[in-house]
Amino acid sequence: MMTRFNTSGKSRHVRGYSFVVMAMAFAACGPKQPEWTTLKGDAQGTTFTITYLDSAQRDLSAQVDSLFRVIDRSLSLWDSTSTITHFNASADSMVTSDRHFQVVLALSRQQWNATEGAFDPTVLPLVRAWGLGKKGKAELDTTAVDSLMRCVGMPRIRIPDSWERPNATAPLTFQKASPGVQFDPNGIAQGYTVDMLALLLRQRGMERFMVEVGGEVRTSGLNARNGEWTIQIDKPVDGDEHEQQVVVPLRDRALATSGNYRKFIEIGGKRYGHTIDPRTGRPAMNALLSASVIADDCATADALGTALMVMGPETAKQWLMQHPDVEAYLITDDGQGGFSIWQTADWPVSTSK
């Protein structure tokens, strides 16, 4: 089964949902076989596709819809009632029993540590200052951007050590170093959503499935043709077309891709990518066009893809060589109108166009 997805960039608006259920029977004769079901729709400002094999032939669209809504109520910056919105508006602390918020914040701190600050979701004030937030393009003010650096850094949010505990319903207190500290979950939330959808399927006994939200993917078992799932990574080119760069076989792993080539702003005729470098307070201006990461879970792959884009090609390569457990595929501008490719030693054998 060949599945094509756009794996560059992430949309941020939250829209309504629509679901299409398609059952595909692959047995021509003999006893009735389990059927493959595909759910498709719109969520989190993008599209999703979920394909699974279920002997009970259940339609899980209602459960999927409910999970999307629960995560949006927790992590959506565009929901004025969400947990993340209340946290960002708080002066110094917030008490919450919202488990999705608790886990995503803690996972973000782990990835901040792992990437030495390259992944840092506290960049939200900078994102807005550079005109990359929901209010649209802002006028660049270097002095203002520099002053906002005082609000950036995951250590400015105190996360209770007890977040990872048996009692997952107890409220916890999250403290901010100053009122200006804000959290932007968009660099990890979509991957986390994929993981939660995969968990939903596993809890209902599914062992063979593919979950994709906005190009972030997680697979389990074999596809309908008893082979590995195959996921397309796009060439880093402008426009809405999705030209194949490479196809990646994926089984029991997650894949996420970050890229700046379709999402940028222009100030004074100069393009700035949507990835902010939390270490400088400015857009990450480097030759890395696309970073794809394979990991055991999609939240990790999502966060690391963002971090690699911040690092740039040379630092990213050095980091990856020091972390052989991470598999990555980097596409870099070669300075001559073309691309250069670099991949880790264990990147799966793939098929180019």
pLDDT, tens digit, for every residue of 42-60? 999 899 999 999 999 999 9
Residue with tokens 């029991």: 252
Cβ atoms < 10 Å from Cβ of 53: 22
Residues 6+ apart with CB under 8 A from 148: 125, 126, 129, 180, 281
Cα of first residue to Cα of last residue in the chain, in angstroms, is 16
Two structure tokens written together for 323: 């972390």
HSE, side-chain direction, 13 A CA sphere, residue 154: 20
Give the whole-angstrom CA distance, residue 32 versus residue 282.
Answer: 58
CATH number assigned to the domain with residue range 82-184, chosen from the 4 options 2.102.10.10, 1.10.3980.10, 3.40.50.1980, 3.40.30.10: 1.10.3980.10
Contact 299/191 with Cβ under 8 angstroms?
Answer: yes
Kindly give the confidence (pLDDT) of every residue in the chain, 353 residues in length, as a single tens digit, with 9 standing for 90 and above. 333 333 333 332 223 333 344 443 333 444 556 789 999 999 998 999 999 999 999 999 999 999 999 999 999 999 999 999 999 999 999 999 999 999 999 999 999 999 999 999 999 998 888 776 544 444 556 777 788 999 999 999 999 887 766 566 789 999 999 999 999 999 999 999 999 999 999 999 999 999 999 999 999 999 999 999 999 998 877 656 667 889 999 999 999 999 875 555 555 555 556 788 999 888 888 889 899 999 999 999 999 999 999 999 999 999 999 999 999 999 998 888 788 999 999 999 765 54
Q: How far is CA 40 from the centre of its chain?
A: 18
HSE, side-chain direction, 13 A CA sphere, residue 264: 18
The pair phi, psi for residue 32, each rounded to 5°, is: -60, 130
Residue 201: the pLDDT is 98
Residue 117: the pLDDT is 96
Give the whole-angstrom CA distance, residue 46 versus residue 262.
Answer: 14
Residue 166: the pLDDT is 56
Residue 39: the pLDDT is 97
Instruction: State pTM to two decimals.
Output: 0.86
Handedness of CA 115, 120, 126, 130 (dihedral sign): positive
Contact 75/85 with Cβ under 8 angstroms?
Answer: no
Residues 6+ apart with CB under 8 A from 221: 53, 207, 208, 209, 251, 252
Give the whole-angstrom CA distance, residue 298 versus residue 279.
Answer: 24
Distances, alpha carbon 233 to alpha carbons 5, 9, 245, 293, 324, in Å: 7, 12, 6, 11, 21
- CB burial of 175-186 (b: ≥16 within 10 Å; e: otherwise) equals ebeeebbbbbbb
